[in-house]
Structure 1
């Protein structure tokens, strides 16, 4: 993925028969996704504007420029939507976009590499980092100050002090 783009949502499928889509927003404020347009998809589509039309179970409903039929909306199911990083707000210190964390190598306090961040999960009680080492099984690391004392985006690395049960 280009560093100038950040994933902000995904199309969950068609909504109705007139080209509306079910839109999953990955934004802290779900409705903010419309403010970040133009959006581009991982399939090469460009949507100059996004007009939110309502809510449905687990998603927003929206109109995307250029999509006017149910078939066109259905064809977008699963498409990831990206915004230009410059359109997104600056984050406070110690907050990160998931896209900035994925792919970073994770080291323990002694300098040994534990693996790379494969995904970031939010299960309500706090974020978890999925760490994958080559040839190893994925491990989940709580994304807390205790378990992850250092995140250095500029240097491209994370220093972790994993709980004993993760060793």
Structure 2
């Protein structure tokens, strides 16, 4: 069933830059959600990879169309809706070396995954698990185990100088002005 994809080796330093959404129409198009700061920049970084059934696959873009909240794209060799649906929820991954080199004190969201989050009162809140993008600001998704209880999820808005007080790249910690109430 997956012979329509060109299989490949895992990239050396994989970096997630987007996600494939649902199939669109009958000709094999899919929705694409970009995680890049400028949404169009996702098309600057090639080649694209994804993982399907524990197999690394290289994706070649055939067509793109800008939509309000997402892109519509056509992947080469995907000919119909059924084939396109197989890619739903797959991440778009690139090799990190294809990204521009950052200046001092700059970082990519991907670099902040697993950073420890400490409140400005000294409380350990957990580690960054993911990011959510909203129209007003990005949100840190923090995971924390509280003793033997199940994992708690804390959502913290990424608002520099107001909520985000300090990002320490060397020690992999972020200090925030945030004190959630744990039950």
TM-score (norm 1): 0.78
CA–CA separation in structure 2 for the residues paired with 1:98 and 1:73 = 28
State how far apart, in whole Å, the 1-side matches of 2:80 and 2:109 are. 33
- CA RMSD in angstroms comes to 2.8
Pair 1:92–1:113, CA change in 2 (3 A): same
Matching of residue 120 in structure 1 with residue 131 in structure 2 = yes
SS, match of residue 45 in structure 1: strand
The residue that corresponds to 1:153 in the other structure is: 169
Structure 1 residue runs of 4 or more that deviate by more than 6 Å after TM superposition: none
In the alignment of these two chains, the number of paired residues is: 164
Map 1:10-159 → 2, pairs under 5 A = 10-43=19-52, 44-47=56-59, 49-56=60-67, 58-91=69-102, 95-109=106-120, 111-135=122-146, 137-143=152-158, 144-159=160-175
Shift of 1:3: 8.2
Give CA deviations for 1:17-67 in whole Å, capped at 9, x if unaligned: 3333222222223232222121111322211x3244313463212222332
- Where 1:138 maps in the other structure, the secondary structure is strand
CA 1:61–1:126: 2 relative to 1, 3 Å: closer
1:34–1:51 Cα contact (<8 Å) kept: no
Report deviation, 1:79.
Answer: 0.9
The two structures have a TM-score, normalised by structure 2, of: 0.73
Give structure 1 stretches of 5+ with no counterpart. Answer: none
